[in-house]
Amino acid sequence: GENVEQHPSTLSVQEGDSAVIKCTYSDSASNYFPWYKQELGKRPQLIIDIRSNVGEKKDQRIAVTLNKTAKHFSLHITETQPEDSAVYFCAASITGNQFYFGTGTSLTVIP
Amino acid sequence: NAGVTQTPKFQVLKTGQSMTLQCAQDMNHEYMSWYRQDPGMGLRLIHYSVGAGITDQGEVPNGYNVSRSTTEDFPLRLLSAAPSQTSVYFCASSPGTATYEQYFGPGTRLTVT
């Protein structure tokens, strides 16, 4: 089955700086790559996603890039704010009904 | 629109007991899934369904059963609880082939003693 690896496991940045989280996947058939944000004690919530026919997608301060050849994708958060502090998960899916998640990155934005 | 709902929010079981975690969605989504979340391990897929009457195993199905008799409901049954099943369980749904975006329920925190 698919194997998704996520790095780093923890990340601390100063408010206003950028944060980058990287994931790699093993199955070249994967074609959908979502990113979720999970605050403490809450449910995961989708923040951005990308399909394999697109190399980059941006939504305000958040962007995702995908390199199909290297089988990796990254989340970029610019101008970080304290409310960005949370755990972020990447995932990969082939069919949209089986998702394989990374182990999460705990992001802390220091005011 | 309640979205995805789960009951109970918290549950404590003794080893060997059985129980059912309930999940329901009111968005007419075709796809539904169950995940468990353990510290440092992300979310792992237990079982999933692509429509009423259709279920399949995910990464970690042992010790769990599911059924999908209606589009709305997708209960997860623990047959004989073990301490290794102590976890937070999330149910999720998505529309299906048109879009893969998953909506998660609020979770059930289960402790098995």
pLDDT at residue B1 is higher than 80:
no
Interface test with A, best of B25, B43, B87, B94 (most A CBs within 10 A): B43
pLDDT at residue B32, rounded to an integer? 96
Task: For chain A, report the end-to-end CA distance as a whole number of angstroms.
Answer: 41
Any residues with CB less than 8 A from the CB of B105 and at least 6 apart, and which?
A43, B3, B4, B5, B6, B23, B90, B91, B92
Q: Which of residues 19-58 of B touch A (CB under 8 A)?
A: 31, 33, 35, 40-45, 48-50, 58
| pLDDT tens digits, A35-62 | 999 999 999 999 999 998 889 999 999 9
Biggest CA-to-CA distance, chain A:
41
| Contact between B100 and A49 using a beta-carbon 8 Å cutoff | yes
pLDDT at residue B54, rounded to an integer? 96
Tokens of A6: 């996520």
Task: Tell me how far apart the alpha carbons of residues B69 and B76 are, in angstroms, rounded to a whole number.
Answer: 12
- Of A33, A42, A60, A4, give the one whose Cα is nearest residue B104: A42
Task: Tell me how far apart the alpha carbons of residues B57 and B72 are, in angstroms, rounded to a whole number.
Answer: 19
CA distance A20 to chain B (A): 18
Q: Considering CB atoms only, which of A32, A46, A102 is closest to B42?
A: A102
CA distance A97 to chain B (A): 6
Given a contact cutoff of 8 angstroms between Cβ atoms, the answer to whether A88 and A37 are in contact is: yes
pLDDT band of A25, cuts 50, 70, 90: very high
| pLDDT tens digits, B24-75 | 999 999 999 999 999 888 899 999 999 999 999 999 999 999 999 999 999 9
Radius of gyration for chain A, computed over Cα atoms and rounded to the nearest angstrom: 13
Asked whether the CA dihedral B9, A102, A10, B84 is positive or negative, the reply is: positive
| pLDDT tens digits, A65-103 | 999 999 999 999 999 999 999 999 999 998 888 899 999
Q: Phi then psi for B85, rounded to 5 degrees?
A: -90, 5
Asked whether the CA dihedral B16, B17, B18, B23 is positive or negative, the reply is: negative
**Strands ordered across the beta sheet of B76-78:** B4-7, B19-25, B76-78, B64-66
Task: Tell me how far apart the alpha carbons of residues B80 and A106 are, in angstroms, rounded to a whole number.
Answer: 34
| Contact between B101 and A34 using a beta-carbon 8 Å cutoff | yes
pLDDT at residue B100, rounded to an integer? 86
| pLDDT tens digits, B81-106 | 999 999 999 999 999 877 789 999 99
Given a contact cutoff of 8 angstroms between Cβ atoms, the answer to whether B99 and A97 are in contact is: no
| Contact between A103 and B105 using a beta-carbon 8 Å cutoff | no
| Contact between B45 and A104 using a beta-carbon 8 Å cutoff | no
- Of B109, B91, B100, give the one whose Cα is nearest residue B2: B91
